[in-house]
Amino acid sequence: MSSSPFSTDTATLIPEVAQLMVTALNLDIQPSDIAPDAPLYGEGLGLDSIDILEVALAVSKKYGFQLRADDEGKAAIYASLRNLTQHIATHRTT
């Protein structure tokens, strides 16, 4: 369990992060249409590197920590909505 006072159960945070992605990327889908375990890149949601940068910026603004291009394990962080949400739940400051 994380020591962050803002840690939230991943299951309850997933819809919030999905909404953040839909809003940040102006996606023409409902947040609930993003499968938690589907890939964000390629065949899943179809995001590209520019989209990921937009998501990183939105996450930084909302949750108070930086997702950097040189983060170790960034491929795993962005592998799915669930992975991204778990990373946010662990590292968020707001």
Rounded to whole angstroms, how far apart are CA atoms 7 and 11? 12
> What three-state secondary structure class fits 38?
coil
- Whether 1 has a pLDDT exceeding 50, the answer reads no
Model pLDDT for residues 3-62, shown as the tens digit of each residue: 444 546 888 999 999 999 999 999 999 999 999 999 998 888 999 989 999 999 999 999
Give the pLDDT score at 8.
Answer: 60
Instruction: Indicate the CATH number for domain 10-91.
Output: 1.10.1200.10
What pTM value is reported for the model?
A: 0.86
